[in-house]
Homo-oligomer: A and B are copies of this chain.
Amino acid sequence: MTVKIKDIAKKLDISVGTVSKGLNGASDVSYELTQLILDTAIEMGYKPKKMQNKEHKHLCIFITNMDFKSENDFGYDIILGFKQHAMRDGWNVHIEVASHELQEKNNYDTYMLSKGYTGAFFVGFALDDLWLQNLSSTKTPTVLLDNYVPRNFNVSYVGTDNFEAFDISIEYLKQLGHTRIGFFSAFLDSVVSKDRYEAFLKAMQHHNLQIDENILGFGHYSSNSAKYHIPKMLEHKPTAILCSSDSMAYGAIQVCQQLGLHVPNDISIIGFDDVDLCNHSTPKITTIRQNRLEIGKCAYSSLESIIRNVFINKTSLRPTLVERESVGVAKNSQLFYHTDTNEKK
C-alpha cells in the first residue's frame, strides 16, 4: 500500500496543503513543523512522486574534510569514478559539502527525503561528524568511504585493503634489509586510522618482525605534524618509517633532512594514498596507491546493490606499491655492508 500525502495529513491532523508545503520546503511552514512532516513521512514509508519518477533519479555525494575540486585533489577521482558509473545507469549525481552546520541543522534521513535523494556516498567523514553518528538506524541506502557501521543493512563500507597495503610495504622493506620499521600513524580517532594501525601490527607479525613502541608515533594527517613526533622516533634508530598518509611522509622526510639524515641512504620513508605531492617531493615519495577512481566506482556499485536490496556490508580494493625514491637498502644491514665487512677482514 502506497502512503499518500493525505495519510500523513490525517496522522498529523493538519491539512493536505500544509503537508505538501512541508514536503517541498515552503518558507511559510515553520522549521519545526517541516521537520515533523518529513519525519512522519519517512516513518510511514512515504516516497515523493519525484522519487518514483524515472526522470528523477538522484544520488548525492556528501563530502567533508577533503578537497575535491581540482584534478590533483584527493577527492576528485573518487567523485569522478562514482559519477561515471552512476550516470551510465541514468542517475543524476549531486555533490554537497556536508558542513558542520548542515549536519547539525538537519536530520540525515529527513534531509535526504526533502531533497529527493535515493541514496548517498559519504566521503571524508570523521567519527565526530554528526551524520556519521546517526547512521546506525538510517533507512537511507548509504555507502561510506573508510567508515563502518555495524548491523545496519542500509549502510556499507568501501575502502582499500589496509592489511594488504602494509603487508606489501613491509615485505618490500624486509627484502631491502629493514627490520627496525617504525610507523608514523594518525591519531586513532577515525576508523581508517585504527584500521591502518592494526594492519601495521598484523603485517609486522606476519613477517616476524618485532614492534618497538619507541618507533611508533601518533600525529595528524598533515606534514606539519611530523616535527612533533619524528625526532623522538629517530632517537631509537629506525631504518624505515611507514606513514599513514603522503603528507605525513612528506613532513617526515623534511624533518629527517633538517636533522642531517639523508633519505633514503640513512632512512627510508613510505607514504600512503599516492597523491600528487609524492612527485613534487625531493626525494620523490614511494607510497601505497589507493586507486581513487576504482573507489568511486565500487562505492556506486555497493550503493546500487543496497538500493536493489542486496545488502553488501564491506567492499575492499587492492592497493599497489608505487616505487619512487624515498626507499633504499637498510643502513647497517647485511645487504648493504656485506662487501665492506669482508674487505676489513
Contacts and interface: CB of A to CB of B under 8 A. Distances in A.
Q: How many copies does the complex hold?
A: 2
A297 B307 CA distance: 14
Given A150-B164, A151-B164, A167-B150, A311 B317 contact: yes
A170 to B, nearest CB: 13
A150 B291 CA distance: 17
A203 to B, nearest CB: 11
A301 interface: yes
Interface string A281-316: 000000000010010011001000100001111111
Interface string A262-295: 0000000000000000000000000000010010
A146 to B, nearest CB: 15
Secondary structure at chain A's binding surface: helix, strand, loop or mixed? mixed
A151 B313 CA distance: 22
Interface in A129-175: 150-151, 153, 161, 164, 167-168
A236 interface: no
Interface of A: 150-151, 153, 161, 164, 167-168, 291, 294, 297-298, 301, 305, 310-318
Contact of A301 (B294, B305, B313): B305
Contact of A315 (B150, B297, B312): B312
Contacts of A317: 310-313
Contact of A161 (B167, B291, B294, B314): B314
Contacts of A301: 301, 305, 310
